[in-house]
Structure 1
Amino acid sequence: MNIAKIDLNLLVYFDVLIRERSVTKAAHQLSITQPAMSNGLKRLRDLFNDPVLVRTSEGMTPTQRALELQPVVRDALSRLEAAIQPELDFDPATSDRTFRIMASDYAESTLLLAVIGQLNILAPNIALDVITPSDVTFHDVEHGKVDMAINRFEALPLSFHQKVLWYDSFSCVVNSDNPIVGRFTLDNYLAGQHIWVSKTGFGVGVGIDPNEVQKLGWVDVELNKLGHKRHIRTFTRHYHVALQLAKAQNLIATLPSRAARIYQDDPNVIVLDPPFDIPPIALKMAWSALLQHDAGHIWLRRMIMDIANQL
């Protein structure tokens, strides 16, 4: 067997699976989904030509082959971890590391602003290199070239680790002089003119076709379920542009509430509840399994999670 053809992440999966003797617990331990861990077990079975774990009356039980491999794999992983991470501790106060984070301007405005403020206090020499979604591919994150991606994702590779930072509802932003204020009904919402804004996932975006409702996203999908369609005048990928347009023109911007609240104290803007139900969206943080045990990365993830919980 050529080791160059082996996904070494599988050895990490094997180590945790044999220790936990449960696909569910192993997935939780590695912060991946249960289907991803099930897929990892299937690949391990193909790799070793052995069932690895079998279901018995006592639960999932390792095969004899798996028990023989366990100490060898554990020793190899321990040596590898020690070799690539000679520093067991990470001191944010003295570190001059640069973390590269892919984030939409929604995540920048609502989360990273607070993260940068905390870094200035706890880690004055650490730098953030914030990259737009259009500049990053799945492979960049998977290979550790980008430390993490923070955005709203429709789908992520099974190998990625991920955490939900928060769920967000939707709000509508309009100019305070917009005639719709005070009579914000569904009929008046549909009679108005709208700004579409979204940037999810990875990679270079493509032009929007207003007739492809499913590709327009959450707002238009929910309207379509009600048998309605809004009149979109402007398409943008930038939340601040949408907010400025809503402020300056008689246009309606329907966007995540945390972004809308950026302008809530502006006297020229009114923030309203949508006149129909829109399911909440999840802001997620995703990263490569290669960085799962990196001390500095662990510190940054915990800090971001703490700030997200506070917000």
Structure 2
Amino acid sequence: MNLRSVDLNLLVIVDALLDEAHVGRAAERLGLTQPAASNALARARALFDDPLLVRASSKGFRRTPRAEAIREPLRVALAELAGVVSLGPISLAGLRGAVRIVAADILAAPLGGVLTKELAQRAPGIDLVFHPWHVGDEVDRLERGEVDIVVSVTSASGASLRSEPLGSYAYSIVMRRKHPAADAEVLDTDLWLAFPHLVVSGRGDRRGSVDAALDRIGRQRRVAAVAPSFLHALELLRDTDLIAAFPQIVMSSAAAAGLVSKPAPIPLDPISLHLVRHSRTDMDPAVTLVAELVRKVAPNLQDG
């Protein structure tokens, strides 16, 4: 039998009918009309393929052998279900388990430390597992159940997906503190483009949204290096005269020590980050808590 086709309310009425062995008393006990209780008995007879109650006299009924057999298991099952429903909220301190996150290192690096600190205070039994970022397949991994939370630069759609914006992050020009352009009172376009540039791309692409913005004003830059991650890129910036246009959030990372940022000399569209999770974790208190913390912390990281 498919349990989705079973009406739980009907089982509650059946429990009263079998206990009372009387339609009128069962109806009174449940606050139903007698016709409603009689209708429920007819539906229960169809469900169990048994009369359940048969008339024993002009004033009452007796239970059939099938009714006697299901009476106690049904009572126990309903009592256990009532206990589940009446359980209070789970104590965060008592939560145990791991929450698996995929996030580009632009966010994973600064976010990881903050989340770990918050969880140590609120739910020390939850472990954070950051999975490697693979460009373009993060939502597929979420749908396959390999991870629980994705932080992505793109939103996601689908009946089973929950996607919400975390915030927008403006671009800044990042360089080492002793870079030849670091002391400039104003970093104009000519000075910015006078130095070789560094970009981050998991696919090895040399062009991106910054180049599209330069195209609009008829300018170009020389991309001298491509790094697969922001952490790698920040290390390169600290040791060279490379210059980069990165979302300001990178400055929240400890790896940005020794670097400075300046306003971009041309308009650059900010990036938007989204938190994506799957509906199968809607009732998972550990995943819900971590998602809540990501939602709370992420917008503030751009101030790092």
TM-score (norm 2): 0.63
Q: Distance in 1 between matches of 2:215 and 2:225?
A: 19
**Code of the aligned partner of 2:265:** P
Listed one character per residue, the Cα deviations across residues 206-233 of structure 1 (whole Å, up to 9, x for unaligned) are 332x3xxxxx332222122222221111
Relative distance call for 1:228 and 1:265 in structure 2 (3 A) is closer
- 1:300 aligned counterpart, secondary structure: helix
Alignment of 1:194-213 (within 5 A): 194-198=197-201, 205-208=202-205, 210=206
Alignment counterpart, residue 261 of structure 2, candidates 241, 260, 271: 271
Does structure 2 conserve the Cα–Cα contact (< 8 Å) formed by 1:107 and 1:151?
A: no
Q: Distance in 2 between matches of 1:263 and 1:230?
A: 28
Alignment counterpart, residue 297 of structure 1, candidates 274, 287, 294: 287
Aligned length: 218
- 1:275 aligned counterpart, secondary structure: coil
Does structure 1 conserve the Cα–Cα contact (< 8 Å) formed by 2:110 and 2:254?
A: no
Equivalent residue number for residue 163 of structure 2: 162
Deviation at 1:247, TM superposition (A): 1.4
Listed one character per residue, the Cα deviations across residues 257-295 of structure 1 (whole Å, up to 9, x for unaligned) are 0213446984x4332111111111112110112222333
Equivalent residue number for residue 280 of structure 1: 270
Is 1:106 paired with 2:106?
yes
Equivalent residue number for residue 258 of structure 1: 249
**Code of the aligned partner of 1:307:** V
Q: Distance in 2 between matches of 1:278 and 1:255?
A: 10
Alignment of 1:53-202 (within 5 A): 89-134=89-134, 137-153=138-154, 155-159=155-159, 160-181=161-182, 182=184, 184-198=187-201
Relative distance call for 1:295 and 1:253 in structure 2 (3 A) is same
**Code of the aligned partner of 2:149:** M
Q: Distance in 2 between matches of 1:279 and 1:264?
A: 24
- 1:251 aligned counterpart, secondary structure: coil
Does structure 2 conserve the Cα–Cα contact (< 8 Å) formed by 1:144 and 1:291?
A: no
5+ residue gaps, structure 1, are 9-78, 199-204, 211-215
5+ residue gaps, structure 2, are 5-77
Alignment counterpart, residue 222 of structure 1, candidates 213, 216, 229: 213
**Code of the aligned partner of 1:103:** A
Does structure 2 conserve the Cα–Cα contact (< 8 Å) formed by 1:98 and 1:129?
A: yes
Equivalent residue number for residue 230 of structure 2: 239
Q: Distance in 2 between matches of 1:196 and 1:265?
A: 15
Relative distance call for 1:176 and 1:94 in structure 2 (3 A) is same
- 1:246 aligned counterpart, secondary structure: helix
Relative distance call for 1:260 and 1:98 in structure 2 (3 A) is same
Does structure 2 conserve the Cα–Cα contact (< 8 Å) formed by 1:222 and 1:278?
A: yes
- 2:290 aligned counterpart, secondary structure: helix
| Higher radius of gyration, 1 or 2 | 2
Relative distance call for 1:138 and 1:265 in structure 2 (3 A) is closer
Q: Distance in 2 between matches of 1:107 and 1:95?
A: 25
Does structure 2 conserve the Cα–Cα contact (< 8 Å) formed by 1:92 and 1:126?
A: no
Question: Percent identity among equivalent residues?
Answer: 22
Does structure 2 conserve the Cα–Cα contact (< 8 Å) formed by 1:89 and 1:295?
A: no
Q: Distance in 1 between matches of 2:256 and 2:196?
A: 24
